[in-house]
Amino acid sequence: MDFPSELIQFLKKAERVSVLTGAGVSQESGLRTFRDAQAGLWAQYRPEDLASPEAFARDPKLVWDWYAWRREAVKGVRPNAGHYALVEMENRIPTFTLITQNVDGLHRFAGSRNVLELHGNILRVRCADCGTFTEVWGDDSESVPRCETCGGMLRPDVVWFGEALPRAELEAAVSATREAQIFFSIGTSGVVQPAAALAHAARNKGSIVIEINAEPTPLTPKTDFAFHGRSGEILPELVKAVWG
Ligand code: BV8
Ligand code: ZN
């Protein structure tokens, strides 16, 4: 893929870069994106109807089992070339912040260091009542596992729709976006708030905004550069074009 020479020059000189990633970056590792139809027994449910406190209150076991299924899927996959290209970019740019909506932990698994998980991490489990984290739980097929400390129900440590994002991560993401000279939006449909607002904040501040996504999104018309294709192909080619 050819990249505009001015983009290559911008990146060669860049001191501060922030990146927002979404489920599209993990798609080439074999994980369904958030809006892809669910598989098998989950096909009848929309993710938005399961990823909420209301869904968990209504049918805790259904929601627990959906996350247990997704957790096993995450454990079975590896980072792809797009994840590793972002590690290489972090090695080349003095101040680099990777803001992710993904809950699969693949950026850290690939070696990214400065990662902000805005929506939590599916591999972490905490008590819905007292918040105690746990690595082990019983596998009762009838009910949701319980907290050893207080007996409350366990839940994935992810941010559900209607829940506030973790304050520290969100504040760090907002300031990293404000300071960035260049802001990438990669593999995200750009509809979930407040994460999607970051790219617009970058643009309003005069940063160079670059989109890499399989298809156009509402952000596309507001970008300085937009590349539509697979992030696992485009990112390694961009890193090679800039840093050889
Ligand atoms: C909050 C964790 C308030 C759980 C997730 C109306 C208007 C505006 C906002 C709202 C509204 N109604 C409600 C809201 C708020 C709501 C929201 O934004 N709703 C949307 C649907 C309109 N937001 C919230 O509720 C947030 N909380 O607002 O709280 C508050 C404040 C204070 C106090 C109390 C409350 C919480 C949002 C977080 C929800 N949790 N995930 C879980 O994973 O189960 S969001 C979920 O969507 C995932 O994290 C996912 O990452 C994220 C965004 O989706 P994408 O990552 O973009 O994935 P998607 O499938 O959409 O797109 C993938 C893209 O990749 C596609 O474009 C595709 O073309 C592309 N692609 C595919 N393959 C590739 C590729 N690109 C490149 N290469 C490829 N190979
Ligand atoms: Zn508890």
Q: How far apart are the C-alpha atoms of 43 and 40, rounded to whole Å?
A: 5
Q: Among residues 83, 107, 119, 200, which one is catalytic?
A: 119
Which of 130, 158, 186 is a domain's end point? Answer: 158
| Nearest atom within ligand 1 for CA of residue 21 | 56
Q: Dump pLDDT digits (tens) for 192-207.
A: 999 999 999 999 999 9
Q: Based on the residue annotation, tell me whether 228 is a catalytic residue of this protein.
A: no
**Quick one: 51 and 153 in the same domain?**
yes
| Nearest atom within ligand 1 for CA of residue 33 | 60
The residue with tokens 């800039």 is 242
Q: Are 238 and 226 in contact (CB under 8 A)?
A: no
62: part of which helix (H) or strand (E)? helix 60-75
What one-letter code names the amino acid at 230?
R
Q: From atom 22 of ligand 1, which residue's Cα is the shortest distance away?
A: 192
Q: Are 96 and 102 in contact (CB under 8 A)?
A: no
Q: How far apart are the C-alpha atoms of 129 and 151, rounded to whole Å?
A: 9
- Say whether pLDDT at 37 is over 70: no
Written as six digits, the tokens of 43 are: 């096909």
- Say whether pLDDT at 34 is over 80: no
Q: Is 159 in the pocket of ligand 1 (CB under 6 A)?
A: yes
Out of 188, 228, 233, 235, mutate this one to test ligand 1's pocket (max ligand atoms within 8 Å of CB): namely 188
**Quick one: 164 and 154 in the same domain?**
no
Q: Are 101 and 188 in contact (CB under 8 A)?
A: yes
User: What is the 36 CA–ligand 1 centroid distance (Å)?
Assistant: 13
User: What is the 150 CA–ligand 2 centroid distance (Å)?
Assistant: 4
Full residue range of the structural domain in which residue 235 is found: 5-31+77-119+160-243
- For the chain, the domain total comes to 2
Q: Dump pLDDT digits (tens) for 61-82.
A: 999 999 999 999 999 999 999 9
- Say whether pLDDT at 89 is over 70: yes
**Quick one: 150 and 166 in the same domain?**
no
Q: Is 197 in the pocket of ligand 1 (CB under 6 A)?
A: no
CATH number of the domain enclosing 81: 3.40.50.1220
